[in-house]
Amino acid sequence: MKKPILVVSTGAGISAESGIKTFRDADGLWENYPVMQVASADGFRRDPELVHQFYNARRRDLIKALPNDAHRALVELEKDYDVYIITQNVDDLHERAGSSHVLHLHGELMKIRSVTNPDYIETLDIDHLETTPATRGKNGDPMRPHIVFFQEPVPNIEKAVELVHKADVFVVIGTSLVVYPAAGLIQCVRAGVPIYYIDPNPADTSAITGVHVIRAKATEGMRTLATLLTAPK
Ligand code: OAD
């Protein structure tokens, strides 16, 4: 029998309990770093070294982190649903947890790509992160983080919208819903499709019909949601 389609949109909050800082919470990354200098196209043109340093620090945090129970609960739901994850996160914790379908909207931290040839992408060797400053590719090209900087288009947004149109259930986890176009995905859900939003400090979604807010951290919220989604009908 065909399984129902569960589309999940995740943000920094799902990785918070893995020890990865969010962006806009108190003591979040954007409180401690000048966002337009380290994460924008102009910033990279002005000072690529600073941008590489910023993302190398993020990589060092990521390799120490492990997927948490919320990432794992999404894998578990694959028994009952066709689960498609659309993530704003650049970490690889969904993949490491074992999720089968993960679409990254804002790029991938462990990858770098050529500044002159966007099709040339390398995956960083985590064992040599300290000695590989990620500024030159193996082919000698100047490299940049494989990250969607502010001021750049989001290449995977159309694929994401297509997935959201197919959803039988839509779930949002741990995002402040302020960065577009990702924040607009919730508006693309078909009428009548249930929407669940897990976040301890959720954005105001009262203008969108059908949103069930689960005000909780990702791991606890996912336990509640898994019970709801797998209860016998
Ligand atoms: P934000 O930092 O804007 O929002 C994090 C959300 O996670 C907030 O709503 C928090 O309440 C929630 N949160 C905190 N701890 C949580 C927990 N334990 N469980 C669940 N939720 C928790 O992060 P994003 O919305 O993901 O883009 O940010 C979107 C984009 O802005 C990022 O992808 C990044 C950033 O600039 C780029 O760098 C391109």
Q: pLDDT-derived band of residue 55, with 50, 70 and 90 as boundaries? A: very high
Q: pLDDT-derived band of residue 83, with 50, 70 and 90 as boundaries? A: very high
Q: What pLDDT digit, counting tens, does each position of 167-178 carry?
A: 999 999 999 999
Q: What is d(CA 232, CA 4) in angstroms, rounded to the nearest whole number?
A: 14
- The per-residue DSSP string of the chain comes to -PPPEEEEEE-THHHHTTT---SSSTT-HHHHS-HHHHSBHHHHHH-HHHHHHHHHHHHHHHHH----HHHHHHHHGGGTSEEEEEE---S-HHHHHT-S-EEESSEEEEEEEESS-TT-EEE--GGGTTT--SSB-TTS-BEEEEE--BTS--TTHHHHHHHHHH-SEEEEES--S-STTGGGGGGGSPTT--EEEE-SS----TTSTTEEEE-S-HHHHHHHHHHHHHS--
Rounded percentage of the chain residues whose pLDDT exceeds 70: 97
| pLDDT score, position 122 | 94
- Cα–ligand 1 centroid distance for 21 (angstroms): 9
| pLDDT score, position 32 | 87
Q: What pLDDT digit, counting tens, does each position of 185-225 carry?
A: 999 999 999 999 999 999 999 999 999 999 999 999 999 99
| pLDDT score, position 3 | 97
Q: pLDDT-derived band of residue 129, with 50, 70 and 90 as boundaries? A: low
Is residue 181 reached through a cis peptide bond, with omega within 30 degrees of 0 on the bond before it? yes
| pLDDT score, position 125 | 78
- Cα–ligand 1 centroid distance for 138 (angstroms): 33
Q: pLDDT-derived band of residue 101, with 50, 70 and 90 as boundaries? A: very high
Nearest atom, ligand 1, residue 10 CA? 26
Q: Is the pLDDT of residue 84 over 80?
A: yes
Q: pLDDT-derived band of residue 134, with 50, 70 and 90 as boundaries? A: confident
Q: What is d(CA 233, CA 226) in angstroms, rounded to the nearest whole number?
A: 14
| Residues forming the active site | 106
Regarding the beta carbon of 21 and ligand 1, being less than 6 Å apart is answered: no
- Cα–ligand 1 centroid distance for 47 (angstroms): 26
Nearest atom, ligand 1, residue 177 CA? 25
CB 94 within 8 A of CB 15: no
Regarding the beta carbon of 106 and ligand 1, being less than 6 Å apart is answered: yes
Q: pLDDT-derived band of residue 132, with 50, 70 and 90 as boundaries? A: low
Regarding the beta carbon of 20 and ligand 1, being less than 6 Å apart is answered: no
The pick from 20, 179, 217 for probing ligand 1's pocket by mutation, whose C-beta has the most ligand atoms within 8 angstroms, reads: 179
| pLDDT score, position 128 | 66
Q: pLDDT-derived band of residue 233, with 50, 70 and 90 as boundaries? A: confident
